[in-house]
Amino acid sequence: MPDTADREYIAAIDQGTTSSRCIVFDHDGRVVSVDQKEHEQIFPKPGWVEHDALEIWANVQEVVAGALEKAKITKDQVKAIGITNQRETTLLWDKNTGVPVHHAIVWQDTRTDALCRMLGRNVGQDRFRRQTGLPLSSYFAGPKIRWLLDNVEGLRERAERGELLFGTMDSWVIWNLTGGVNGGVHVTDVTNASRTMLMNLRTLAWDESILASMEVPAAVLPEIRSSSEIYGTAKGGVLDGVPVASALGDQQAALFGQTCYSVGEGKSTYGTGTFLLMNTGTEAINSYAGLVTTVGYRIGDQQPVFALEGSIAVTGALVQWMRDQMGLIKSAAEIETLALSVEDNGGAYFVPAFSGLFAPYWRADARGVIAGLTRYVTKAHLARAVLEATAWQTREIVDAMKKDSGMELTTLKVDGGMTSNNLLMQSISDFLDVPVVRPMVSETTCLGAAYAAGLAVGFWSDVEDLRRNWRRAAEWTPDMDPAERDKEYQFWLKAVQRTMGWLGEES
């Protein structure tokens, strides 16, 4: 550990889906210390997922203290705190007591499926797409607020009387950090607000007409601020007096941490699922190819930067499935060993549409398929097919981005747990026909929040300063015969067709 006594740092809090973490970064963007704590996943009914927001706040305080202690630094050395968070998870709390009126409804929760269909009326899932960039889906926060107000006794009245506050986890953490009932600031940043389905992408303000359609009273909503500015200072706790200076949804934070500051730069985060975001500049680009339009980031009063986003539900989760459900491997990493024991996929294609197809198809009636089976196929071929599934799904998203934006991705920056898989990274490069690069700091989500906070307090001077911190740890370059690539892609697309319409009238 280097001597940390008289140096300056930025602390980033990542309030994630399964855990909360705090990472302390130095001026070079290097990780100095990490502390992390998991919280309970509450499943009250099939399809419902909740979090206890009080537990989360307690954990956040604990990991912040833990990270400072491990770094052996004091709060005076921390120049700013940045926040990044699981997106869309929705909380309502009492303004006067600071107590949540219900567990937070997590982004994965599907209880608002029927409500979303109803909200679509005769228009369908694109009813609010022009204003918000999003399709009507149970993911987003707006319908979750509506559900709470409709289903929890007395909430609507209390909301209309102005007694309740709404927030995604960024708002909850910032409000508590800055004093809670004693003057906590009630804000959210544009990236988180862009996932509520209540913000207009053109004005970056709450959209009156959508609020009316969604029956959400404006009184509960936080003020929308940029992603990088001082919202307030921490009150009490180990960071007392430190400026709270950034907030970004986790995927946007990764985009920022990967320094995708130019139009056409994109990153893909390979974890349980995969999220690909591409910077499209200061214009919001409508998607007709099944992507969503979202705010990438906004630094202070500069122009907002927009992004196109494509998400894949099942990537690392398919590897877990091979391990836990099929028992074909003992650890996730072993998938590569198994896959490397053969030369190719042996004609097998695996489309993991476990809960339907996401971007760019959005087909809820699809279910998973393994296509092309012959007696020749072994478990090793299936392991290949599993890794190729992630690579082909990436290709489909990249193709959709090209269609929507007219921009060509020149390189793909990657992060997340699956980037340790060399064969997968090579396959992605081969299938996309572009170089794939991995940065030296794998903690890009926290790094993005730290960068945005550091910019706000002048710890870093501008984004060029941040770009200079970016280091290439590895690069995979395409090495595949184009004819072979096209042939394989056609087989993949054929396999995808086989998944559709599996669920029919009888279900």
Partner 1 sequence: MARTIQSLERAAAVLRLLAGGERRLGLSDIASSIGLAKGTTHGLLRTLQQEGFVEQDPHSGKYQLGAELLRLGNSYLDVHELRARALVWTDDLARSSGESAYLGVLHQQGVLIVHHVFRPDDSRQVLEVGAMQPLHSTALGKVLAAFDPVAHNEALETGFEAITERTVTEPADFEALLDDVRARGWASDVGETWEGVASVAAPILDRRKVPVGAVGITGAEERMLGPEGLHQRLVAAVRDCARSVSRDLGAGRF
Contact positions toward partner 1, by CB under 8 A? 30-31, 330-337, 417, 419-422, 440-442, 471-476
Q: Which is closer to ligand ADP, CB of 38 or CB of 150?
A: 38
Smallest distance from the beta carbon of 438 to partner 1, in angstroms? 9
| Nearest distance, CB of residue 391 and ligand ADP, angstroms | 12
Residue 317 interacting partner from ligand ADP, partner 1, none (CB closer than 5 to 8 Å by kind): ligand ADP
Phi-psi category of residue 180: left, alpha or beta, with phi > 0 → left and psi -120 to 50 → alpha: left
Taking the chain, what is the end-to-end CA distance rounded to the nearest angstrom? 59
Of ligand ADP, partner 1, none, which one does residue 319 interact with (CB within 5 to 8 Å by kind)?
Answer: ligand ADP
320 is in an annotated binding site: yes
Q: Is 77 annotated as a binding residue?
A: no
Q: Are 173 and 185 contacting, i.e. CB atoms less than 8 angstroms apart?
A: no
- Partner whose binding site includes residue 475, from partner 1, ligand ADP, none (CB under 5 to 8 Å by kind): partner 1
Per DSSP, the three-state class of 295 is: strand
Residues 6+ apart with CB under 8 A from 196: 88, 140, 141, 142, 145, 168
Identity at 131, one-letter amino acid code: Q
> How far apart are CB 275 and partner 1 at their closest, in Å?
20
Burial class of residue 486 (count of CB atoms within 10 Å of its CB; 0-12, 13-18, 19+):
exposed
According to the annotation, is 62 in a ligand binding site? Answer: no
Asked if 209 contacts 155 with a C-beta cutoff of 8 angstroms, the reply is no
Minimum separation from the CB atom of position 462 to partner 1 (A): 19
DSSP category for residue 39: -
Cis peptide before 222 (omega within 30 of 0): no
Of residues 31 and 493, the one with the C-beta less far from partner 1: 31
- Contact partner, 473, from ligand ADP, partner 1, none, Cβ < 5-8 Å per class: partner 1
CB 249 to partner 1: min, Å:
24
Residue 15 and residue 107: Cα distance in Å, rounded? 13
Contact positions toward ligand ADP, by CB under 6 A?
A: 271-272, 316-317, 319-320, 332-333, 335-336, 416-418, 420-421
Q: Among the residues of 334-421, which ranges form H helices?
A: 334-340, 379-405
With CB under 5 to 8 Å by kind, the binding choice for 334 among ligand ADP, partner 1, none is partner 1
Whether 427 has a binding-site annotation, put simply, is no
Please choose which of partner 1, ligand ADP, none residue 19 contacts, taking the beta carbon within 5 to 8 angstroms, the exact cut-off set by kind: none
The answer to whether the annotation marks 246 as part of a ligand binding site is no
Between 21 and 103, name the residue whose CB sits nearer to ligand ADP.
Answer: 21
Q: Which is nearer to ligand ADP, 251 or 499 (CB)?
A: 251
- Among partner 1, ligand ADP, none, what does residue 476 contact (CB within 5–8 Å per kind)? partner 1
Task: Decide: residue 384, CB within 10 A, 0-12 exposed, 13-18 middle, 19+ buried.
Answer: buried
Query: Is 19 assigned a ligand-binding role in the annotation?
Result: yes
Q: How far is the CB of 309 from ligand ADP (least distance, A)?
A: 16
Identify what 316 binds: partner 1, ligand ADP, none; CB under 5 to 8 Å per kind.
ligand ADP
Does 294 carry a binding-site annotation?
no
Please give the Cα distance from 95 to 387 (Å, whole number).
Answer: 48
State how far the Cα of 40 lies from the Cα of 51, in Å rounded to an integer.
7
**At 23, phi and psi to the nearest 5?**
-125, 135
Q: Which long-range contacts (CB under 8 A, 24 or more apart) does 65-68 make?
A: 65/35, 65/237, 65/238, 66/22, 66/35, 66/37, 67/11, 67/22, 67/23, 67/24, 67/33, 67/34, 67/35, 68/11, 68/24, 68/33, 68/238, 68/239
Of the candidates 351, 425, 352, 350, which has an alpha carbon nearest to the alpha carbon of residue 381?
A: 350
Q: Which residues contact 202 (CB under 8 A, 6 or more apart)?
A: 131, 284
Three-state DSSP state, 53: helix
For the bound state, the minimum distance from the C-beta of residue 352 to ligand ADP, rounded and expressed in Å, comes to 12
Shortest spacing between CB 438 and ligand ADP, in angstroms: 13
Residue 442: name its binding partner from partner 1, ligand ADP, none (Cβ under 5 to 8 Å by kind). Answer: partner 1
Is 421 marked within a binding site? yes
Binding residues for sn-glycerol 3-phosphate: 17, 87-88, 139, 250
Binding residues for ATP: 17-19, 272, 316, 320, 417
Binding residues for glycerol: 87-88, 139, 250-251
Binding residues: 17-19, 21, 87-88, 139, 250-251, 272, 316, 320, 417, 421
Binding residues for ADP: 17, 21, 272, 316, 417, 421
